Structure formats: structure tokens, C-alpha cells
Chains A and B, each alone.
Chain A
Amino acid sequence: MIAIAGHTGRAALQAIQASLQVCLLMVNTFVWTVVAPLRGRGFRTRYAVQQFVEYGVNSLPIVTLICFLIGAIMAMQSSYQLSRFGAVHLVANLVGVSAMRELAILMTAIIIAGRSGSAITAEIGTMKVSEEIDALEVMGLNVNKFLIAPKFAAMVLAVPMVTIIAVLMMIAGGYTISVFVLGLDAMRYIEQTADALTAKDLVIGMTKSVFFAVVICWVGVYRGFQVAGGAESVGRQTTSSVVTSIFVIIVLDMIFTVFFYFAF
């Protein structure tokens, strides 16, 4: 009985501690990305640009390929269903809207979480193991300013930009299948996609992708700082970083979907 109480208490304390750490991380990233640069305390622009290239530009090949394929798959799968109602021409609407509101945004976030979220954790974790984080502190350099703020800014810019390209690629995938396999009219497909998409879809999609970017960065950094001990811990936290990011992204997606469904 005492053991159960003790266990619950410890778990609760740990949870409180963890959420305090996450809050601190949130405040710090905000302060060092937005407030501190405005007050002239500096921002490592060059490093941020490097990170932007790494998160954004370098992930383009894989993101575009995957989104193109998913667009194509979606077109084929939906035409299989729609043809029973003689509504194959609606493939354009289906692919366009689900790419813009949901699938391209989710896919991009998940791919970048796997590629760059894990890289952030591994980098910070390795720096912690090899005392590089301590070295920064001894030199009087702020970890938030030096590492986290540039990564955060780069991620928040990169993910939405890659997402827009991903949406276009997904529509292109659907177009390719519809026009060359299902035999739909090319011009009509484009017109129909343009008609189906509204500004609201764009706003919803972009809002979500900005939040996903924030999640990827925070989870990556948080897991990186949880590394303790040696290389084995780096591996464990890196895996955990990807799993946690994907989980949080999907939960957040659910919340957003419910919110947009009822609110707009």
C-alpha cells in the first residue's frame, strides 16, 4: 500500500518536474528567439541559415518524392471508390483538399521529425556527453542563444515552406494518375482543384504546420538535454524524440481538426 502511494507520488513529482522543464524551455526559446534579438542581445543568423538549409532544403528530395507518391496513391484509391458512384471527376477535389488540409502537412511534419528532430536530439545529446554544453556555459555563452534559438527559428520557417511544396507535389501526384491513368481532362482537373481549395484551407494547413514545427523542435531539444551518461543514452533519447514528436503531432492534429470542424 505504502509502496503504491510512494510510486504514485514519485511519478507525479517527476511529471511535474518534466512539465516545469518543458515550460522553462518554451519561455527560454521564445525569449531568445524573439525578445532578446529585438533588445539587441544578438541572434546567430548565420547558424540559423545553416540549420534552415539542413531542415528545409535538404529534406526537399525525400518530402517531394513521398508526397508525390501519396498523391498518386490517393488518386487511385479514391477513384476505385468514386467510380462506383460515377464520380471519378471528384478525385481532384478529394486529393487537393485532403493534401492542403491534412495529408501533406502531416507527412512533412513526420518526415522532418524523423530526419531533423532526431538530429537535434542526437546533436545536443552528444554535446552534453562530450561536455560541450558545459564548455559553452564556462565560456559564458548562453545555450538558448547559441543553440536553441537559431534551431527554433530555422525550424519554424522551414516546415511551413516545405509543406507548401509538399502540397503542390501531392496535387501533382494526383494529377499524374488522374490524367494519364484515369483519363480525366487535364485542364478540368486543374480548374477543379483551384475551385475546391479555399483560403481557409490554406490558413488551416499553414497554422498546423507552424505548430508541428514548434513541436518537432521542442521535443528534439528537450530529449537532447535529457541525455545522461554515454552514447547508449543518446541513442535511446533519439528514438524517443522521434516517437514523442510523432505522437504529439498526431494528438495536436486531432485537436486542431476538432477545433476547425466546430469553430469554422
Chain B
Amino acid sequence: MSDAAENIIDVKDLVVRYGDRTVLDGITLSIKRGETFVILGGSGCGKSTLLRNLCGLMRPQGGSIVIGGRDFTAMSDTERVEARKRMGMCFQGSALFGSMTVGDNVALPLREHTKLEESTIDIMVKIKLELVGLSGFEDYMPSELSGGMKKRAGLARAMAMDPEVIFYDEPSAGLDPVVGAGLDMLIRKMQLTFGLTSVVVTHEMESVKLIADRVCMLDKGRVIGMGTLDELRALDHPFVRQFFDRRPDEEGGDSSQYYLSITGDMR
């Protein structure tokens, strides 16, 4: 079997710019079917931008993203809609629709994309909510749920169409360690029971240790290391070392550089 068939996502030379600023600069990576792939990096390194490109919320300026054998960047709009039915996304703030109950949120993709009977949809909603440990919460409004429960409900909604890939944007951000760990276990469970491919963006080392099969580390829009957590830990890159040791940036630094940065053009 060739390498390409095994990979569910292949990213090649991805370039993304906001105006003049290059956020992603030639990212190349591949994600294998059924693994949990973690994108790790500091704030502002472009990891969220990478995720938004992978799930098609942004169109890159260069490079290609091949998902399931097809180039996502070259698709027409209708093809994209089809491709999107096979992927789910868990947003950082859960992004549940505030005007709908939790049950309606989970049912929404089913109602819009399938011709299932309402009774069938009802059962599927119950199954999905059970899966994330929220059975019995169908009639609650999102505003009545806690942060962790919202994220679980968001995951149930992402799972509604039985996707092949799920993207998670900072799944444990803003949660206490216990709830965060519970969510990590849930991600693990989804992978083990359904063979789902998970792509997780995070900066929390604790959850990386729990869930990651492979890790890709980003810094300043470039991949600086990829492999299992142990392989990455063995790397001798200064940023990787700094990240794993949880050391802050050097303060002070060059004083003339500092002067220049606050006085700007006035030379």
C-alpha cells in the first residue's frame, strides 16, 4: 500500500498571508488515517490559521491541501459542501447556536443534509448526546450549560454526520484540569471506538501527553519538528526546548533594538 492511501490529509507547501504578513510559510505535513495528530505551538504561531485552512474556512494563497485523495483548495463550492459532510469541527467556544436547544443543534446537520424521518433524527441525537455524556440534555439551551458541557455538545454536533475527520480547536482551553482531562479522554474514546482521525490544535502539554499519536510543532509559521512526542522531545531546537521546559522568552535583550521598537521611524 502506498503512503498516500494511508494518509487522510496531505498538506503541501501551504502559504497563508494576512495582507503583507506571512502567517504560514510553506507548511508540509501529512496526517494518517485513524491517528490523533496534535498541532502544537505558542500563541500567534499560526496554528489556528492552519486549522482554519484544513477545514476550509480560509483559502490559502499557495500550496495544496489534499483530503481523502482530493485537492480541497481546487474544489468548486458544491464539492466543498460534500467534502464537509465528512468532517466535523469542534470550536474553541463550542459555537453552538444560541437560539436553538442542544438537541436541535445536534440535529441541524442531519435535518439539512439528510432526508431522515424526524423520529430517526431524534434517536440519532440521543445516541450522539449519550456518546459525549450529555444524555437528557436535549431540551436545554446552550446558555444553560457549563463550559465543559458546551464543548461536549459541540463535539456531539460535530459527530452528527459520522465524519471521518474531526478538528478540535483548543479543546481544553478555559476548562479546569478535571473537565479538561475528561474532554481529552473523550477525544481518545472517539478515536478508539470509531477509528476517527483527530486533528487537535492546542498548547497544553498535559493533554498532548494523553491524546497525541504524533505531534507537529509550529513556530513563526513554519514546522520545526514532527513525530511522536518522544521524538520531538529529543530534538535540539531552541524553541522546542523552551516550550517543553516552559521557559519564558529572554527579557531585556538588545537595548538598542528596544529603543528602535518604541521610537519607530524617528531615527
Contacts and interface: CB of A to CB of B under 8 A. Distances in A.
Nearest to A42: B112
Given A130-B95, A132-B98, A138 B55 contact: yes
A139 B109 contact: yes
Interface residues of B, number: 26
B80 interface: yes
A178 to B, nearest CB: 46
Interface in A118-149: 123, 126-127, 130-132, 134-135, 137-142, 146
A146 B80 CA distance: 17
B57 A138 contact: yes
B45 to A, nearest CB: 20
B84 A134 contact: no
Interface string B177-191: 000000000000000
A138 B89 contact: yes
B44 to A, nearest CB: 16
Contact of B85 (A137, A140, A142): A140
Contacts of A137: 56-57
A131 B93 contact: yes
Given A138-B57, A139-B157, 10 more contacts: A131-B92, A131-B93, A132-B95, A132-B97, A132-B98, A134-B57, A138-B87, A138-B88, A139-B109, A146-B112
A139 B95 contact: no
B115 to A, nearest CB: 11
A131 B98 contact: no
A135 B84 contact: no
Contacts of A130: 93, 95, 98
Looking at chain A's contact residues, the main secondary structure is: helix
B113 interface: yes
B81 interface: yes
B243 interface: no
Interface in B34-71: 52, 55-57
A142 B80 CA distance: 11
A191 B128 CA distance: 66
Contact of B91 (A123, A135, A140, A141): A135
Contacts of A126: 98
Contacts of B112: 139, 141, 146
Interface size of A as a range: 10 to 19
Interface in B216-234: none
A137 B80 CA distance: 10
Given A126-B98, A132-B98, A138 B92 contact: no
Contacts of B82: 140
B127 interface: no
Given A126-B98, A130-B98, A132-B98, A140 B84 contact: yes
A139 B91 contact: no
14 contacts: A130-B95, A132-B98, A135-B95, A137-B56, A138-B57, A138-B84, A138-B88, A139-B109, A139-B161, A140-B80, A140-B85, A141-B109, A141-B112, A142-B81
B84 A139 contact: yes
A140 B93 contact: no
Given A139-B109, A140-B113, A134 B81 contact: no
Contact of B81 (A127, A131, A140): A140
Contacts of A139: 84, 108-109, 112, 157, 161
A130 B81 CA distance: 22
A190 B56 CA distance: 63
Contacts of B157: 139
Interface string B134-161: 0000000000000000000000010001
Contacts of A131: 91-93, 95
| 7 closest cross-chain pairs (CB), A and B | A140-B84, A135-B95, A131-B95, A140-B81, A138-B89, A131-B91, A139-B109
Contacts of B55: 138
Contacts of B87: 138
Nearest to A136: B97
A47 to B, nearest CB: 9
Interface string B104-121: 000011001100000000
Nearest to B109: A139
A134 B95 contact: yes
Contacts of A127: 97-98
A94 to B, nearest CB: 45
Nearest to B97: A132
A88 to B, nearest CB: 52
A108 B98 CA distance: 29
B67 to A, nearest CB: 13
Listed residue (A127, A137, A142) with the most chain B CB atoms within 10 angstroms of its CB: A137
Contacts of B84: 138-140
A134 B108 CA distance: 15
Contacts of B109: 139-141
Contact of A135 (B52, B85, B89): B89
